[in-house]
Every structure is written in C-alpha cells, then in structure tokens.
Chains A and B, each alone.
Chain A
Amino acid sequence: MSEVSTAQPHFDQPLAVELLESPLTPENTGKLGMWLFLSADATIFGAALVAYLALRIGSTKWPVPASVLSIPSTAVMTLILICSSMTMTEALSAIRRGHQARYRGFLTLTIVAGLVFLGLQAREWNHLIAAEHLSIDTSLFSATFFILTGFHGCHVIAGVVYLGVLLIRGWSGKVSAAKSAAVEIASLYWHFLDLVWIAIFTLVYLI
C-alpha cells in the first residue's frame, strides 16, 4: 500500500496511449489550429454570403451581375486560383520528398498566381469605381459586392505574404521534409481561399 502511495507518475515520459488518441500532439497542434481558424473564417464568409442572398432576394432593383461585372475576366481569375491550388499541392509534395528546388519553384508559381489574381481584381475594382461610378455606398449591390470580394482579396494578400515567408525560409534552408508540416498548414489556408472564391464566383457573379 505504501509503495503505491509513494509512487510518482512520470510526467516527463510520453504516454503511448496519449500519442495515439489525442489530436493535440506537438506536430498536429498547428494543423488543428489552422482548421479551427478556417472553420471560424468559413462561418464569417458564410454569414456574409447569406446576408448577400437575403438582401438580393429582398431587393427589387438588383442588377443582373453579368450586365455590370466582367464574367470572362472573373472566370480567368477563378481558373488562376484553381491552378494555384494545384501548384501549391505540387510544392507540398516536393518538400515532403525533400526536393528543395522543385518546392521553391512551385511555391513561387503559387505566389505569382496569387499576385496575378490580385492584379485582375484591382483592375476590376478600378473599372467599377472609375467607369461604372460604383462605390461602397452607391447601392446594396455595390456594398455587398465590394465587401465580399474585398474581404476575400484581403485574405489573398495575407496568403501571398504567408507563402512569401515560407519561400524565404525555403531559400534559407529552414524548410525540409522533416519540417513539412508548416507547408501543409499554409496549403490548407491557400486551398481555403480557392474554396471560398468558388462560392463567391457562383453566387455573386453567375447567379
């Protein structure tokens, strides 16, 4: 009895059962954190899209999107984001195999795709503001349009910066096959931008 009471648990030793069952292992906390963040972010985007649909259905003066917005240009933007998701997947696959040069190349392509997307969005906004004389307080249509696409655009800017940091770390040799979890977490964020844009493209531009 006395042996049992004096025995101290060894907290410094990893528990095999804990490692197998708990999602909060050191290598997965970042991934879990990103999923929680994306879940919260998806709720915000979802709420914004539902609000957009509610306002649109309730309005009698909503313009046909294709008459105001450039569908071909936006279709190209959508294709660019889909292609960037593919290059991001290739970058992750490359770093998992330890191919540093291939990783840096595909990550650079992803960043370039993000910048092209932002450039096309800036061009579209410039056209709407300068030629169509739309601003955030012109109408419900323009307000919801600028808020939704602007919020997504801010996320893309953050994504480009995020990937830029990973590229710099790649050049300095701080990213390797053993430390590919950071790239996997970044890829989750980038694919999420693609996913949200598909919803915006469908609901705001096409319907």
Chain B
Amino acid sequence: MAASSATASQRVEPNYIFIWIYLIVLTGLELVVAFAPISKAEITGLLVGVAGVEISLVAMYFMGLQFEPRSLALIALIPVALVGFMVLTVLPDAAVAIYPRRGGGEVASMANALGHELSGPNPNLNYRPRL
C-alpha cells in the first residue's frame, strides 16, 4: 500500500471523462429498460446487471480500487460477501412468496402420486408454543 501510494501520483490515470460518460449512458439505459415492454423478471435482471456495472465502474475507477493492493480490495469485498449471505437467507422466503401456487401444486401432485390425500389446513400452521 505504501508502495502504491508512493507511485499514486506517477501512475497512469484512466480517462475519467470516459467513465463519466459510461455512467451517464448506463443510467439512461436503466431508464429505457425500466419502462421497456418486457416481463418484470427480465426488467429486474437487466436493471440489477446494469446497476452492478455502474457500481463496479465507480468503485474500480473513481474510488481507485483498481490501483490499490489486494488487501484493501479484500476490505471492500467484506460487505459484498455479507450482503450476499443476507440475500441467501432471504431467498427461501422470497421463493415461497413469488411461487406459492406452483410449490403447492407440486406438493399436491407428489402426494397424489404417492396415494396420499392432502386435505384440511396444515396443522403446523396452527402450532402455538406452550408457555
């Protein structure tokens, strides 16, 4: 890090104007995608992808992460790992919320195939802990 800072003023700096123009173009692209006549899932995927590119450009060039040593880049990656873990913990609930019918239908068809009948409310839903 000391060595990198010592050469910070001598390093070849990227053309920040180009990065700035890229960011503006990508923001415009986000606005186009947000109102494009495609499915919600496609819009979400594209927007997350474009935002990821924008965030990477800011971190790598404007914040200079590209020119820093790996130890500093690892510090910057800590929140990425933590947020990724948080997303993983939320994913099961999200999947149930997004695809409730498909999940129920599959369970019901599996039960039918096994000769069981699914009827009545799930007893686990009425479970109350004894205090």
Task: Give me the interface of A with B, judged by CB distance under 8 Å.
Answer: 19-20, 22-23, 25, 27-28, 31-32, 35-36, 38-40, 42-43, 46-47, 49-50, 53-54, 57-58, 66, 71, 75, 78-79, 82-83, 85-86, 88-90, 93, 96, 181, 184, 187-188, 191-192, 194-195, 198-199, 201-203, 206-207
CB-nearest residue of chain A to B6: A27
Q: Which of B5, B76, B79, B90 contacts A53 (CB 8 A)?
A: B90
Question: Which B residues, 1 to 22, have Cβ-Cβ distances below 8 Å to chain A?
Answer: 1-3, 5, 9, 13, 16-17, 20
Interface contact A195-B93, CB-CB below 8 Å: no
Interface contact A207-B97, CB-CB below 8 Å: no
CB-nearest residue of chain B to A55: B90
Complex A-B: 25 CB contacts under 8 Å: A22-B1, A23-B1, A25-B1, A27-B2, A28-B2, A31-B5, A32-B75, A39-B75, A40-B79, A43-B78, A46-B86, A49-B83, A53-B90, A66-B34, A82-B23, A85-B23, A90-B16, A93-B16, A187-B62, A195-B63, A198-B51, A203-B51, A206-B47, A207-B43, A207-B48
User: How close is A205's CB to chain B, nearest CB, in angstroms?
Assistant: 8
Question: Which B residues, 37 to 96, have Cβ-Cβ distances below 8 Å to chain A?
Answer: 43-44, 47-48, 50-51, 54-55, 58-59, 62-64, 69, 71-72, 75-76, 78-79, 82-83, 86-87, 90, 93-94
CB-nearest residue of chain A to B23: A82
A89–B18 Cα gap in the complex (Å)? 13
Q: Quick one: given A23-B72, A28-B5, A188-B63, are A82 and B27 in contact (CB under 8 Å)? A: yes
Interface contact A39-B79, CB-CB below 8 Å: yes
Interface contact B54-A198, CB-CB below 8 Å: yes
Q: Is B24 an interface residue (CB 8 A)?
A: yes
Interface contact A195-B94, CB-CB below 8 Å: no
CB-nearest residue of chain A to B22: A82
Count of B residues near A, CB < 8 Å? 46
Interface contact A54-B51, CB-CB below 8 Å: no
User: How close is A58's CB to chain B, nearest CB, in angstroms?
Assistant: 5
Q: Quick one: given A39-B76, A43-B82, A198-B55, are A79 and B24 in contact (CB under 8 Å)? A: yes
Residues of A within 8 A of B1 (CB): 22-23, 25, 28, 31-32
Q: Is B118 an interface residue (CB 8 A)?
A: no
Interface contact B75-A35, CB-CB below 8 Å: yes
CB-nearest residue of chain B to A58: B97
Interface contact A207-B47, CB-CB below 8 Å: yes
A32–B71 Cα gap in the complex (Å)? 10
